[in-house]
């Protein structure tokens, strides 16, 4: 997550305050989750087993497999495996031994079977008692013995709990010319922006990364270790991205540009024989043949002033503007230069992959960088890579400073579900497909929905790994929403375990039809210079008529070596501008475009995400009706706990993905921190500032206790015999007193269960009104409800 963490590491996403609640007086309740004590119905620990030699992961036939007892890939005992993971960043990677064991157990309970070790290299420091990085402040790479020992212990603890690791190599390290004995940067800068891909081409920097990879793998004892699921070489960076985006000047400072120019000249001579012939192919060289090997400059040349944070905010903003002219307007020289940059990226990726395989073995799956950071030309720079990786965020923050940031009112259950579907158009069917970062960050009121929705898309498309960004970036577990962290955002935690089961167990079956979009090398070269937002999606639609909604009809992938003159036989897709709904052929996933709602409905899993509204929302075996005074969005999941279908299960778990926030500092009595309009703009929001804080936005962390927005609703279940008992669960997953018969009844036409119902004054002494918010300590409020049908005596 270099794009965010590098500059601030302190960012929050937020939703439009108008989407927070339909009621002018929303009801909030406190509900801390005790991860260490978590058990009972929400506990997904049974999904994992300790890792052994047979658990080793390899890539072949388009997917990840475990090798089985014979230890060999591609044999009869290989078994498909899907990874449901989270990211750890910065100090969260370096817990002490007891904390490492606790963390591994906590993750297992959530259904997590993979951890992405991210930002190991970002903040070199000498804090031996609390390391933030695997590196010290010495010349790169100088490893911290304490950090190495702690990370090695964490890896071992994860393996004991059946959790693999995805090792990230270069993520956020910004080389320091004086310390690392490198040429100075322009203007005397101490470090380049992390966006600047100088490390991809400058010889001594590449050599330093080779040493870093070898020594890190050795120090963590990862050679032949089944815990190592995959390796990522270079997070969110490529030369192609630098050229197409805003960071080209930062990529070629004057002390480093000659190294890239030499490579450019060598490439031209290999291609054309002489510079004169290159000029002839280009229709002439305005500056003369002698200057033919000068590095071109794109039409738009400004360098980033704030590093990857600016990249991320510009990408995620929905301003679909051009950075420069359309691809078909570029000249032959620029087309060649893009091909050269692609080849240079490829050389870097191939070289580092070779190093990883030398340090481990040839079967470890390796990838280069993410598809967004290089676009469709990544297929040409990464043909040797073992899997394809991508990142996707909904409503990522737009940054202006630590206390000046905003987020647009966008949701995955609304218009941005198309973007989740569009991720399928980055897939090469011959290799596993991974999304190593995804989120709809706090405090988007619908943020919890991203967990089941991403799992659903990945299951339908038969992808191979998902990694939520992130679990935490600190050793201490947050107890209220913080940055991009999952832990502390209890309304999201409510949905994690069932989302993991949805993806890992295939509770939503993969679509059987394969839809291949032919994209030969020539077309990739044409589309690769597109500077538009989400250029792959836009380019495939412009040239081939391929829409993201193809993902409703089948598993989508790009065909990179199609037969000559192949024409796409793509199924028809309704125009999103006029369509009212989309659905898979069996109706297992339905999108109501007008309402802004997604329903997942299978015999083993039911979920509703998005708009609430007054009408009853019906499924095959259940229905829900939201209270008209509740919030205007919610996410609920219902799944059986006894292996039966939803229609006849006698033991079920209902989870509610409530919007969660922290407490406003200084409020007396305590109240929830609000989401407020940013600068009076209805489509942008931020968090209210802390008292006395400068800037229009709140701090990047919230303070406990956490507050959850109550979502009163009635759940209906199909008829079945037995005495109905519905137990709200506490933050440890333990049963509280069963709901009263007035709130949980079972009749001939089925069950009626009132969840997060408004408290009765006679029961809890009334309602306390504070600052326009209704708040209470209703003991029936929970994020989890365990539903049991007991046999009649």
**How confident is the model at residue 792, as a pLDDT?**
66
DSSP bridge pairs for 610? 597, 634
96-125 b/e (C-beta count within 10 Å ≥ 16 → b): beebbbbbbbbbbbbbbbbbbbbbbbbbbb
pLDDT, one tens digit per residue, over 359-369 is 999 999 999 99
Within a 13 Å sphere around the CA of 105, how many CA atoms are in the beta-carbon half? 12
DSSP bridge pairs for 684? 408
pLDDT, one tens digit per residue, over 239-270 is 999 999 888 999 999 999 999 999 999 999 99
Q: How far is 106 from 120, CA to CA, in rounded Å?
A: 21
What's the gap between Cα 526 and its chain centre? 29
Supply 11's token pair: 């960012």
Strands (E), 157-270: 164-170, 228-234
User: H-type helices in 68-136, by residue range?
Assistant: 97-109
User: H-type helices in 651-760, by residue range?
Assistant: none
Q: How far is 531 from 372, CA to CA, in rounded Å?
A: 12
| 3-class state of residue 550 by DSSP | helix
Q: 703: closest CA among 691, 712, 695?
A: 691
DSSP bridge pairs for 735? 729
Q: What torsion do the CA atoms of 220, 224, 227, 229 make, to the nearest 10 degrees?
A: 110
The per-type count for the chain, helices as H runs and strands as E runs, is 18, 35
**How confident is the model at residue 161, as a pLDDT?**
98
**How confident is the model at residue 25, as a pLDDT?**
78
Q: How far is 393 from 746, CA to CA, in rounded Å?
A: 42
Residue segments in the chain with a per-residue pLDDT below the cut of 70: 1-24, 299-329, 700, 760-778, 792-793
Q: How far is 346 from 368, CA to CA, in rounded Å?
A: 9
DSSP bridge pairs for 636? 608, 656
Q: How far is 771 from 463, CA to CA, in rounded Å?
A: 47
Q: How far is 177 from 313, CA to CA, in rounded Å?
A: 28
Strands (E), 603-702: 605-611, 617-618, 622-626, 633-640, 651-656, 660-663, 675-678, 681-687
Domains within the chain, CATH numbers bracketed: 35-247+341-511 (3.20.20.80), 512-570 (no CATH), 580-659+709-758+777-790 (2.60.220)
| 3-class state of residue 23 by DSSP | coil
CA angle at 367 for the pair 363 and 370, rounded to the nearest 5°: 160
For 361, phi then psi, to 5°, come to -165, 175
**How confident is the model at residue 497, as a pLDDT?**
98
Determine contact, residues 764/776, Cβ cutoff 8 Å.
yes
Sign of the Cα torsion 399, 401, 406, 407 reads positive
Full DSSP string of 124-150: ----TTS-SSSB-SSSSS-B-HHHHHH
């Amino acid at each position: 997550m270099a794009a965010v963490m590098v500059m601030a590491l302190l960012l929050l996403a937020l939703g439009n305050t108008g989407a927070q609640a339909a009621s002018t007086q929303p009801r909030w309740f406190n509900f801390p989750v005790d991860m260490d004590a978590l058990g009972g119905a929400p506990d997904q620990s049974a999904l994992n087993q300790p890792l052994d030699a047979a658990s080793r992961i390899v890539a072949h036939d388009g997917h990840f497999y475990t090798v089985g007892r014979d230890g060999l890939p591609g044999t009869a005992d290989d078994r498909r495996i899907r990874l449901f993971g989270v990211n750890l960043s910065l100090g969260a990677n370096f817990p002490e031994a007891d904390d490492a064991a606790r963390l591994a157990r906590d993750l297992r309970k959530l259904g997590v079977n993979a951890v992405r070790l991210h930002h190991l290299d970002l903040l070199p420091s000498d804090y031996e008692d609390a390391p933030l990085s695997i590196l010290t402040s010495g010349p790169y790479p100088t490893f911290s013995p304490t950090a190495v020992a702690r990370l090695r212990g964490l890896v071992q603890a994860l393996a004991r709990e059946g959790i693999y690791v995805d090792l990230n190599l270069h993520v956020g390290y910004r080389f320091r010319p004086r310390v690392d004995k490198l040429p100075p940067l322009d203007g005397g800068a101490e470090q380049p922006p992390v966006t600047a891909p100088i490390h991809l081409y400058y010889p001594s920097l590449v050599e330093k990364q080779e040493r870093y990879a070898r020594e890190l793998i050795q120090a963590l004892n990862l050679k032949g270790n089944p815990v190592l699921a995959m390796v990522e070489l270079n997070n969110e960076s490529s030369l192609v991205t630098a050229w197409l985006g805003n960071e080209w000047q930062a990529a070629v400072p004057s002390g480093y540009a000659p190294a890239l120019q030499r490579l450019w000249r060598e490439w031209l001579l290999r291609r054309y024989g002489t510079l004169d012939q290159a000029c002839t192919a280009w229709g002439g060289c305005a500056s003369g043949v002698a200057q033919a090997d000068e590095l071109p400059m794109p039409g738009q040349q400004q360098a980033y002033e704030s590093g990857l944070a600016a990249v991320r905010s510009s990408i995620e903003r929905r301003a679909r503007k051009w950075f420069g002219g359309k691809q078909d307007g570029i000249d032959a020289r620029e087309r060649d230069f893009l091909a050269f940059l692609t080849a240079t990226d490829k050389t870097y990726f191939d070289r580092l992959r070779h190093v990883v395989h030398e340090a481990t073995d040839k079967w470890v799956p390796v990838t280069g960088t993410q598809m967004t950071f290089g676009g469709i030309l990544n297929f040409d720079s990464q043909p040797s890579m073992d899997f394809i990786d991508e990142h996707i965020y909904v409503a990522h923050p737009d940054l202006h400073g630590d206390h000046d940031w905003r987020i647009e009112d966008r949701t995955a259950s609304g218009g941005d579900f198309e973007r989740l579907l569009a991720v399928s158009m980055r897939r090469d069917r011959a290799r596993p497909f991974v999304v190593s970062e995804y989120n709809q960050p706090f405090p988007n009121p619908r943020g919890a929905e991203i967990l089941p929705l991403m799992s659903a898309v990945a299951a339908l498309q038969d992808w191979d790994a998902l990694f939520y960004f992130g679990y935490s970036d600190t050793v201490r577990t947050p107890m209220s929403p913080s940055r991009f962290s999952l832990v502390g955002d209890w309304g999201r935690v409510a949905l994690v375990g069932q989302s993991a089961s949805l993806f890992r167990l295939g509770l939503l079956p993969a679509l059987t039809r394969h839809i291949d979009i032919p994209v030969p090398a020539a077309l990739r070269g044409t589309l690769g210079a597109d500077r538009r937002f989400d250029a792959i999606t836009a380019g495939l639609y412009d040239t081939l008529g391929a829409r993201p909604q193809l993902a409703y009809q089948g598993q989508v992938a790009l065909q990179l070596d199609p037969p000559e003159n192949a024409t796409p036989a793509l199924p028809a897709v309704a125009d999103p501008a006029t369509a009212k709904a989309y659905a898979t052929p069996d109706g297992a996933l339905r999108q109501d475009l007008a309402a802004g709602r997604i329903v997942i409905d299978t015999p083993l899993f039911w979920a509703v995400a998005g708009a609430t509204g007054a009408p009853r929302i019906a499924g095959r075996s259940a229905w829900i009706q939201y209270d008209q005074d509740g919030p205007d969005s919610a996410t609920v999941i219902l799944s059986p706990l006894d292996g039966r279908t939803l229609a006849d299960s006698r033991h079920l778990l209902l989870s509610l993905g409530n919007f969660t926030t922290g407490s406003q500092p200084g409020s007396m009595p305590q109240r929830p921190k609000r989401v407020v309009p940013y600068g009076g703009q209805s489509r942008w929001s931020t968090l209210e500032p802390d008292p006395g804080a400068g800037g229009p936005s709140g701090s990047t962390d919230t303070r406990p206790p956490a507050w959850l927005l109550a979502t009163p609703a009635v759940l209906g279940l199909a008829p079945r015999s037995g005495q109905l008992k519905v137990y709200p669960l506490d933050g440890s997953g333990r049963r509280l007193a069963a709901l009263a018969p007035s709130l949980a009844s079972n009749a001939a036409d089925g069950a009626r269960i009132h969840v997060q119902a408004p408290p009765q004054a006679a029961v809890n002494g009334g309602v306390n009104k504070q600052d326009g918010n209704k708040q209470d300590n209703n003991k029936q409020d929970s994020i989890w409800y365990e539903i049991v049908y007991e046999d009649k005596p």
